Amino acid sequence: MKRKREGEAGMDIVWQTPANPPHPQDYIFRNGIRYVKPYYFEFIAHVKNRWAGKTIVDLFADEFKGRPYEYYVSAVKCGRIQVDGEMVPVSYMVKSSQKISHFVHRHEPPVMACDVPILQKEPDVLTVCKPASVPIEGGLVKKQYIAKVVGEFPEDELTVDANIDYNAREGRSTAEVRDSAKGKTASTKFSRISSNGTQSIVLCEPVTGRTHQIRVHLQHLGHPIANDMLYISDQTVDRSIKGSSADRSARMSDASLPSNFDEKVINECEENSDSDLSIDPMCTNCPNLAPKGYDDDEEGLWLHCFRYCGPGWEYECPYPDWAKLS
């Protein structure tokens, strides 16, 4: 579904919803990577009981930590954040069940533009080997992964039962003791496939599905994924500019904004009256095509799902090249 809205300074903006997927002309291909042209998108949420009574700005700053506080102040003033389809002041206190709209200039993460191998054709099912950069999965399938980790992994099968506590602002998780009040319960089984004494290939079987579960549990064992800069050490100082591209896109690298950000954005919104929508004055990712934190030449994480299982069926994907130890 598409709907039109008068943008700042009279711009005729088409806001998109998930029911309106990109068309072929919306894609851009660069160096083996496929990008979707940035587009305007309306995120919709309804006020939960625990949100009621908060100001609209505090609600977003507390619950949606991917952007800085100053951004949300400006978004409310510009009308990019609305309540029940109406602009509200920054001091507005939300009420239960109200509809909150957040209008953004959306930059989608790029994916590999390589061919997708077909594993099996059946009358009702087509099975393909999905590139790791393409997001799917609805939690209904049992999956087994392989990972290339640091060090010589133990020969005996190991099970890690440690809560996963995800910090949205940092874009990373930590492992907590099982009975901790922090995080969600999580369990993963691990067994060694091979090792050369320096690195190991490990079979990973998640029993639960938490954010970064396999990566955090491997770090917890002292054998992090060998190219996982987000979890390869306990130091967090440089992690805001390291990690896989997906990690870094989950955070806004511009967490610190200039003191005049609000005034600057309002002025730009009022002045931007041309029809070129490639650059948006409120967007925290423009002028880049991809979200902040993505590199064109970045290698994928050494974690690969190679087996998918369900009731009465099972499919396997080939191992990636990095799974061979010399």
pLDDT in tens, 156-181: 999 999 999 988 667 788 998 777 77
- Helix, strand, coil in percent for the chain, rounding step 5: 15, 30, 50
Lowest mean pLDDT among 141-155, 185-199, 265-279: 265-279
Contacts of 228 (CB under 8 A, 6+ apart): 215, 219, 243, 244, 301, 302, 303
Res. 132 pLDDT band, cuts 50 70 90 = low
Tell me the three state secondary structure of residue 261.
helix
Q: Which CATH number fits domain 114-247+297-323: 3.30.70.260, 3.30.2350.10, 1.10.3720.10, 3.40.50.300?
A: 3.30.2350.10
Q: CATH topology for 2-106+254-271?
A: 3.10.290
Q: Tell me how far CA of residue 8 lies from CA of 60, 145, 275, 299, in angstroms.
A: 21, 47, 12, 39
What's the CA gap between 235 and 238, in Å, rounded?
Answer: 8
**Mean pLDDT on 71-79:** 93
What's the CA gap between 48 and 29, in Å, rounded?
Answer: 41
Q: Where in the chain is the domain with CATH 3.30.2350.10?
A: 114-247+297-323
Contacts of 159 (CB under 8 A, 6+ apart): 187, 188, 189, 190
Quote the pTM value: 0.58
The pLDDT value recorded for residue 192 is 97
Q: Higher pLDDT residue, 107 or 19?
A: 107
33: number of Cβ within 10 Å = 21
DSSP state letter for 86:
B
Q: Check whether the bond before 123 is cis (ω within 30° of 0).
A: no
**Mean pLDDT on 215-244:** 73
What's the CA gap between 189 and 218, in Å, rounded?
Answer: 10
Q: Tell me how far CA of residue 112 lies from CA of 29, 83, 152, 173, 262, in angstroms.
A: 9, 38, 31, 26, 37
The pLDDT value recorded for residue 294 is 66
**Mean pLDDT on 75-97:** 95
Q: Higher pLDDT residue, 193 or 240?
A: 193
Q: Where in the chain is the domain with CATH 3.10.290.10?
A: 2-106+254-271
